[in-house]
């Protein structure tokens, strides 16, 4: 067969020497490597006591942002859902009624907003597409759960706490 590279080597099939046949040198060599690792720095963290630092570009669980007055920023423009390669985001828009100005920033808002975390691949395209600075990906890992129902994140699960209500509490 024609070779693609010249890196292939023929396997050495000559009979083993005496030192190879008693296996002891190879066993000791292996044990030294194992023992050497005891004195090296541990690669693991004792989660949850010690948390691993996130990289600055880490893309975790989504949050829906509010503005300074605590109004929802999302206007249900659908660009996040359009950008989403996994089609995880769905929404339904509604018109703001008079008297709801303190709840929603624009005259149109997302009455329903859902992210199916079973579908989400945490690519961050939604964050990039958002023209209203409404959706962000936080530095939180997606919590595991037992039921599929708990992975449908609704607007109430995604919204950040109201800034003013938090101060009073």
**Given the complex with another protein, which of 133 and 139 has the nearer CB atom?**
133
Cα separation, 164 vs 166, in Å, equals: 5
**Given the complex with another protein, which of 107 and 139 has the nearer CB atom?**
107
Query: Residue 138, Cα to own-chain centre: how many angstroms?
Result: 9
Which residues, 6+ apart, have CB-to-CB distance to 22 below 8 Å? none
Cα separation, 64 vs 82, in Å, equals: 17
Indicate whether 71 belongs to the interface with another protein (CB under 8 A).
Answer: no
User: Which tokens sit at 157?
Assistant: 């699960």
Of the candidates 67, 95, 101, 139, which one interacts with another protein according to CB under 8 A?
Answer: 95
Selected range binding another protein among 45-53, 55-63, 71-79, 138-146, rule: CB under 8 A = 71-79
Positions touching another protein (CB under 8 A) are 75-79, 81-82, 87, 90-95, 97, 100, 106-108, 111-114, 116, 131-132, 148-149, 152, 154
């Amino acid at each position: 067969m024609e070779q693609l590279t010249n890196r292939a080597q023929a396997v050495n099939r000559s009979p083993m020497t005496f030192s190879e046949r008693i296996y002891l040198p190879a066993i000791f060599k292996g044990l030294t490597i194992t023992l050497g690792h005891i004195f090296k720095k541990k690669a693991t963290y004792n989660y949850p006591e010690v948390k691993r630092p996130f990289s600055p570009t880490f893309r975790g669980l989504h949050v829906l942002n509010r503005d300074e007055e605590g109004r929802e920023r999302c206007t249900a423009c659908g660009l996040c859902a359009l950008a989403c390669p996994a089609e995880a985001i769905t929404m339904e828009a509604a018109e703001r009624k008079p008297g709801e100005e303190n709840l929603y920033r624009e005259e149109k808002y997302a009455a329903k907003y859902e992210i199916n975390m079973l579908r989400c691949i945490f690519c961050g395209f939604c964050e990039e597409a958002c023209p209203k600075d409404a959706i962000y990906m936080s530095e939180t890992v997606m919590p595991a759960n037992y039921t599929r129902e708990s992975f449908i994140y609704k607007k109430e699960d995604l919204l950040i706490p109201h800034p003013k209500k938090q101060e009073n509490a």
